[in-house]
Amino acid sequence: MITRVTSQSMSRFAQQNLQSNMERLARLQEAATGQSKITRPSDDPSGTADTMRVRADQRANEQYKRNIDDAAGWLATLDSALGSATDALHRVRDLAVRSGSGSVSDTGREAIALELSALKDELLAAANTRYMGRSVFAGNSDAPAVFAPSADGTLNYEFTGPAAGSVERRVDAATTVRVDADGRDVFGTEAGGDSAFALLDAMVADLRAGKPVNGYLADIDARLKTVVAQRAEAGVRHAQVLRAQEANMEQSVSLEARRSSVEDPDVGQVILDLKLQEVAYQSALAVTARVLQPTLMDFLR
């Protein structure tokens, strides 16, 4: 059977072929200028699903990075405060040993008492250390001070933080790290009779009563041991956060590589394909122009 080919059918086929060439050319131009293989979900449905998962993982990883940075700031502040407390207690111990010397005069004991009072203020400042408006020794409490003067106006200091609760930061999908310390564990409480501040007050009172305070060395060493242990624990957690920071950076690079493999086109290949498609389109135009010559009817129109 012989199929009759008319000028109209040839024109229609030529238009369809030209339109297909133009569509491929437009897609390649869009890929070259937009720098993405996927401009709409219909371009690559499975690739679209993959890139959505990767981008969700990237957003989660960015949030973990913010958490890690905040945790590192908390723990660095905590370590600094515990370091200040450690230095203050070492100095307290030195003064207690000196006070036991038989050559210390009343004036010398008063000088030691004054320095101990200053060290108590220094210790109190360390205990009330804040990071971003939050105390690093009060857990979830928003109290303005962790340790504050008692209601009766005495110089005893009591913990004003919560009975429980701690500040934690999630550093990855499965790990949280505590970034604060309980002030009661570090400095003690007046209710328990073992606070560092009450200890210093007692030493000052004895010195001004003419008594040496080297008998408090065991209590000072116990408090110093507690502070050092708390600082070591904070250091372990800080090291964990720093390791999480490195892992987070590696994960960020890995996720970006995965996203790039799904979305980003091979620019060199796209440009080559674009040039080839331009040549093919120009050739199609030239061939169509030679094949579909104007007829008498075209002139009569």
CATH, residue 109: 1.20.1330.10
Q: Residue 261's pLDDT band (boundaries 50, 70, 90)?
A: confident
Mean pLDDT of the chain: 81
Q: What sign does the CA torsion over 104, 107, 108, 109 have?
A: positive
Mean pLDDT of 26-44: 65
Structure confidence at residue 55 (pLDDT): 85
269 falls within a domain: no
Structure confidence at residue 162 (pLDDT): 60
Element (H, E) at 68: helix 45-99
Structure confidence at residue 164 (pLDDT): 54
Weakest mean pLDDT among 112-116, 141-145, 212-216, 254-258: 141-145
* Residue 90 in this model has a pLDDT that exceeds 80: yes
74 falls within a domain: yes
194 falls within a domain: yes
Mean pLDDT of 155-168: 68
Phi, psi of 170 (to 5 degrees): -85, 120
145 falls within a domain: yes
User: Is the model's pTM score more than 0.85?
Assistant: no
Question: How many independent structural domains does the chain possess?
Answer: 1
Beta strands at 168-172 and 175-178: parallel, antiparallel or unpaired: antiparallel
45 falls within a domain: no
Structural domain containing residue 172: 53-257
286 falls within a domain: no
Structure confidence at residue 99 (pLDDT): 84
91 falls within a domain: yes
Mean pLDDT of 169-189: 90
Beta strands at 134-135 and 157-159: parallel, antiparallel or unpaired: unpaired
